[in-house]
Amino acid sequence: MGTYRICMCFKRKYKVTEAGPPTDLKEAFKKYAEGGTQMTVEQLKSFLVEVQGESGALISDAERILEQVLQKRPHIAKYTRKSTLSLDDLHRYLFSADLNPPIGDKIYQDMTAPLSHYFIYTGHNSYLTGNQLNSDCSVVPIINALKRGVRVVELDMWPSDDAKDGVHVYHGWTLTNPVELIECLKSIREHAFSASPYPVIITLEDHLTPDLQAKVAQLITQTFEDILFNPQSGCLKEFPSPEELKYRIIISTKPPKEYLKAKSELGDNPQKGSDSDEDAWAKVPPDLTNDQEDDHMSDSDSSPDEDNDDCESRPPGACTYKSLIAIHAGKPKGGLKEGLKVEPDKVRRLSLSEQALEKAASSHGTDVVRFTQRNILRVYPKGTRFNSSNYNPRIGWVHGAQMVAFNMQGYGKYLWLMHGMFRSNGGCGFVKKPDFLMKVGPDNRVFDPKEKLQVKKTLKVKVYLGDGWLLDFTQTHFDTYSPPDFYTRVGIAGVPADKVMKETKIRHDNWTPVWDEEFTFPLTVPELALLRIEVQEHDISRNDDFAGQTCLPVWELRPGIRAVPLFDRKGKQYNSVRLLMRFEFV
């Protein structure tokens, strides 16, 4: 007889227990329920005011919460009425990301100031599905960005190779497959206001002849019709407000004469290169190099407000194209100091690469802040970010840059910061800049980002527990043979003095980890601080495994015990994964 081997493989069964209410909540319940096992709506109202910091809470708010909690209890009959909450009921409410989120979802800021007073959710090369070199161009990333609340969409326009009067959108001088301009415009029209009523700005990189510019003018006017904002007054003296521009489309690019002038000076067939400032036109000063939309300009170009040239010398329709440009882009002749000049009766947009902004911040930081009080500054990724990675947005925000342009199809912690910033103000895509960035003090002084400041506010964060991974992940996602070993990283992204990351202890072999740890964060500039939260699964043999993240604007954190939903690497919210945390300002 032969020998038979029997291999028996056993999968470990995980025992999952639901984490109960933390000690802080038990003590609070005991206090407000006055030692009983049930909390009345009157007692719940006191809890909301005194523990949750909801000073305006009414009995009606407590009654509404009671109804919501009871509806989520499947074992209670549909028509059963109950007028009190148990400790488990209260815990269930507090741990619900839908009912008790860490920030609000309402637009609450003043939206009547000029556009230059706001940070604006801005995309870079908005049509790319992946990397900067050979990914497809499509309307899909444009639609996804608009649905997320992005308010600035960038389109690179080039003559079509297969149609005499066609216009394509693609990343110039690369292998990216093009998409037709008209398809992009139609998608913007359809989805522009799906997430926000506030204006969508289309920044155009224009690589077209005057005839094709006239064609673009026709496409734009036919597509957007009466929702297109057309000031008909040349360069604006002051930007309108987001409120005035609700449900409007705004075009921003250079007035077309800069293209014609640069073309005549550089020749009809200038050498092609990337949009990084290393490969920009040689005549552009290195301290003020712009992306492709401004790279056509040379040192001898006139100021962008000097664009009242005679239209008679142009092909029919070119003046129509020019009249559609509501936010003029470009640079005056001269260097950085001249480029940041603030004119009393005209406003404009200036673009700088991330490296150029770093140089400007180093040598002319207060000039940048002063410029952004009236004008718009757009910052874009350096051309060597071929994989569509992003840069730290903080340096742009702290200098008042409104359009910190990001590759929204990318991923990583800097994109998480961008998502966090624009969760603010109801996710409408416009966030009012802090007052200190807009103030002008004695002797024309403005905020100096290099100045060392005193601590203004201290944030205390307590991480109680987490749950939901077993619902959103497979049992073997983190470890084949044992439950995961989770720990949480909590920190601040903001000015350098406030930047810090801290960690909880590792909780081994538990799908519902309880940490119950508190951290303190002194903040010098809380108005620009973002709370970073990451959960990792510890792996002794290799890199730790990602288990969720979120980023929250500190200035909008709701004090008290809150449920914090977590997101995947690309910013999509998990269905169930969340943390129970407490926020307190002292």
445 vs 537: CA distance, rounded Å: 48
Q: Which helix (H) or strand (E) holds 212?
A: helix 210-224
Checking if the pLDDT of 396 tops 70, the result is yes
Would residue 571 be called left, alpha or beta, if left means φ above 0 and alpha means ψ between -120 and 50 degrees?
left
Environment class of 541 (CB within 10 Å of its CB; exposed 0-12, middle 13-18, buried 19+): exposed
pLDDT digits (tens, 9 = 90+) for 52-63: 999 999 999 999
| Average pLDDT value for residue range 234-260 | 88
Residue 325 has pLDDT above 70, yes or no: yes
Residue range 468-490: average pLDDT? 95
Residue pair 111/243 in contact (Cβ under 8 Å)? The answer is yes
Q: Which residues are catalytic?
A: 124, 171
Distances (CA, A) of 248 to 55, 152, 226, 397, 445: 37, 12, 8, 25, 35
pLDDT in tens, 151-168: 999 999 999 988 788 999
Three-state DSSP at 263 gives helix
Which pLDDT belongs to residue 71?
Answer: 84
- What is the third-level CATH fold of 23-94? Recoverin; domain 1 (1.10.238)
Of 53, 34, 52, 38, residue with least CA distance to 89: 38
Per-residue confidence band for 5, with pLDDT thresholds at 50, 70 and 90: very low
What does the alpha-carbon distance between residue 430 and residue 406 come to, in Å, rounded to a whole number? 15
- CA nearest 137: which of 164, 158, 121? 158
Parts of the chain belonging to CATH 1.10.238: 23-94
pLDDT category, 292, cuts 50, 70, 90? very low
Q: Are 402 and 376 in contact (CB under 8 A)?
A: yes
Note whether 330 and 352 are within 8 A (CB): no
Statement: residue 94 has pLDDT above 60: yes
Task: Supply the pLDDT for residue 337.
Answer: 85
Question: Comparing 295-299, 342-346, 486-490, 582-586, which segment has the lowest mean pLDDT?
Answer: 295-299
Residue 344: which residues within 8 A CB-CB, separation 6 or more? none
Q: What is the pLDDT of residues 17-38, one digit of tens each?
A: 678 999 999 999 999 999 999 9
Q: Which residue has the higher pLDDT, 432 or 258?
A: 432
The two three-digit tokens of residue 127, written as one number: 């049509």
Q: How far is CA 489 from CA 56, 103, 365, 411, in A?
A: 33, 19, 32, 18
The neighbour count for residue 345, using CB atoms within 10 Å, is 9
Q: What is the model's pLDDT at position 80?
A: 55
Give pLDDT, residue 331: 62
pLDDT band for 268, please (50, 70, 90 cuts).
Answer: very low
Q: pLDDT grade, residue 10 (50/70/90)? A: very low
pLDDT at 338: 86
Q: What is the distance between the alpha carbons of residues 401 and 373, in angstroms, rounded to a whole number?
A: 9
- The full DSSP string for 305-344 is T-----GGGSPTTHHHHHHTEEEEB---SS-HHHHTPPPT
- pLDDT of 320: 87
What type of residue sits at position 96?
A: S
Q: Mean pLDDT of all residues in the chain?
A: 88
* pTM, entire model: 0.89
Q: 75 φ, ψ to 5°?
A: -85, 0
> Of all helices (H) and strands (E), which one includes residue 416?
helix 413-421
Alpha-carbon gap, residue 127 to 187, rounded angstroms: 11
- CA end-to-end distance (rounded Å), the chain: 80
Q: Give per-residue pLDDT as tens, 355-371.
A: 999 999 999 999 999 99
Contact in structure between 80 and 398 (CB atoms under 8 Å): no
pLDDT at position 117? 98
DSSP summary character for residue 205: E
Mean per-residue pLDDT for 64-71?
91
Mean pLDDT calculated for residue range 369-379: 97
The average pLDDT across 241-248 equals 98
For the ranges 105-114, 316-325, 515-524, the lowest mean pLDDT is seen at 316-325
CATH 2.60.40.150 residue spans of the chain: 457-585
Using DSSP's 3-state secondary structure scheme, residue 196 falls into coil
> Nearest Cα to 19, choosing from 482, 516, 538, 518?
516
Q: For 457-585, give the CATH class.
A: mainly beta
Query: How many Å apart are CA 151 and CA 199, to the nearest integer?
Result: 7
Domain 122-388: homologous superfamily in CATH: Phosphatidylinositol (PI) phosphodiesterase (3.20.20.190)
Encoded tokens for 163: 């149609």
Query: Taking residues 436-461, what's their average pLDDT?
Result: 95
Q: Quote the DSSP letter at residue 379.
A: E
Across the range 71-82, mean pLDDT stands at 62
Domain with CATH 3.20.20.190 in the chain: 122-388
Span 97-111, mean pLDDT? 97
If one counts every other C-beta atom within 10 angstroms of the C-beta of residue 536, the result is 21
> What are the φ and ψ backbone dihedral angles of 59, each rounded to 5 degrees?
-60, -35
The reported pLDDT for the residue numbered 261 is 55
